[in-house]
Amino acid sequence: MQRITILGATGSIGVSTLEVLALHPDRYAVYALTAHSSVAQLAAQCARWRPEVAVVGTAAAAAELSALLRSTGTNTEVAYGEAALCAVASGPRCDAVMAAIVGAAGLAPTLAAARAGKKVLLANKEALVMSGQLFIDTVHASGAVLLPIDSEHNAIFQCLPHDFDRSRVAPGIARILLTASGGPFLNRAVASLASVTPDEAVAHPKWVMGRKISVDSATMMNKGLEVIEAHWLFGVPASSIEVVIHPQSVIHSMVAYVDGSVLAQLGNPDMRTPIAHALAYPDRIASGVAPLDLTTIGNLAFEQPDLDRFPCLKLAYDALRCGNAAPALLNAANEVAVEAFLAGRIGFRMIDQLIARVMDHLPVVAVTEIDALLEQDRLARTLTHSLIPT
């Protein structure tokens, strides 16, 4: 019986994880559930799953959650704050951690889980984008098991040799092909993107995701972050990672080999598939996802991304090639810019413009420990806020 901590239990990944766990009560138990401010939803999850611990973001949210749990007779312990997140991710009663907190806020608890040698199911790409070598070094030092949850990286993982070791590029691998849906604006006139509204940007044609991730998909920053994540997960250079637009989202990614073979992982666009794969790895368990019916798909289309339409993708490649703290600066500027866009403070095309200005302005320094990394994150956020019109 594996005891699972879900960081970000009320988000789309957290909810999907609980749906998979519900299919296998003989294999999994919930140790801890966390959410920042969705107290009512978290209380309902606690009443259903009876975790030992629930963690929220603030003291006020903790008080509200405690009252709701008392009213349902749920004996779950309630805690709050970053230290509590790290504790439930690294504690001895936790076997595996679903790291699904969006953004930089997920870095500390995800790193704590890795440092404690846990089985880390990584859905928070920003943690690896920000910390890069620090995170990978922690995984190697502790003996943690790192399994990707992003559908693309999970697909790549499934297409790699069974004995793949990221510390050395496996012989015979030529390229990693990251597929991208192209988001809601793949065929919209580029000149009209300046007038995109937040509601339009979060209306993804294939995937049901949170608002921040949906905007990242619309700008293709999400794919840019995945390029950086793929570099660290699989130990391949930027020159060997290619993004391919695939609007049907049936092929989730591919690995090309030097003999001309291309191995692909296919499936319906549902995050329960990679979640089930990582939970049970190296075994296979049912995910609840409908079988893929190839006869109903029709055509599968592929095209190269247009960097005039998706400048955020180029910015991410630039940050990866630059190295050091550049990906952390990119991520911080993007988080602030997307938040401002969703709040109606800037236009859609100003997201990439702000990121580019921050990347041009701040010097890129080498970082060898977490405090220095967080300082670079702080500097980028401060500068981005200062560039947003008041």
64 neighbors 88 (Cβ within 8 angstroms):
no
Structural domain contains residue 283: no
Taking 80 as the threshold, does the pLDDT of residue 77 lie above it?
Answer: yes
Give this prediction's pTM. Answer: 0.91
The pLDDT tens digits for 82-123 are: 999 999 999 999 999 999 998 888 999 999 999 999 999 999
For the chain, how many residues are written?
Answer: 390
The pLDDT tens digits for 279-294 are: 999 999 999 999 999 9
Same-domain status, 37 and 14: yes
**Max CA pair span of the chain:** 63
Looking up tokens 């990866």 gives 320
Percent of the residues in the chain that have a pLDDT greater than 90, as a whole number: 84
For 353-372, what is the mean pLDDT?
Answer: 93
Name the nearest CA neighbour of 108 among 157, 55, 155, 160. 55
Same-domain status, 53 and 125: yes
Domain count, the chain: 3
The two structure tokens encoding residue 285: 């368990």
Q: Is the dihedral of CA 309, 232, 164, 167 positive or negative?
A: positive
- CATH of residue 85: 3.40.50.720
CA angle at residue 325 from 210 to 317, to 5 degrees?
A: 65
Same-domain status, 81 and 58: yes
Same-domain status, 138 and 197: no
Beta pairing class for 251-257 and 173-180: antiparallel
Last residue of a domain, one of 101, 122, 148: 148
Structural domain contains residue 287: no
Name the nearest CA neighbour of 320 among 364, 383, 267, 361. 364
For 97, 105, 179, 201, the CA distances from 339, given in Å and listed in that order, are 27, 14, 26, 13
> What pLDDT band is residue 67 in, cutting at 50, 70 and 90?
very high
Other beta carbons within 10 Å of 283? 9
The two structure tokens encoding residue 93: 């009663």
Last residue of a domain, one of 307, 331, 356: 307
Taking 60 as the threshold, does the pLDDT of residue 168 lie above it?
Answer: no
Structural domain contains residue 277: no
The pLDDT tens digits for 233-243 are: 999 999 999 99
Cα–Cα distance, 85 to 134 (Å, whole number): 20
Structural domain contains residue 30: yes
Taking 70 as the threshold, does the pLDDT of residue 276 lie above it?
Answer: yes
Taking 80 as the threshold, does the pLDDT of residue 163 lie above it?
Answer: no
Same-domain status, 8 and 126: yes
- Expressed in percent and rounded to 5, the helix, strand and coil fractions of the chain are 50, 15, 35
Return phi, psi of residue 143, to 5°.
80, 15
Domain that holds residue 95: 2-148
- Positions of E strands within 212-250: 241-245
> What pLDDT band is residue 166 in, cutting at 50, 70 and 90?
low
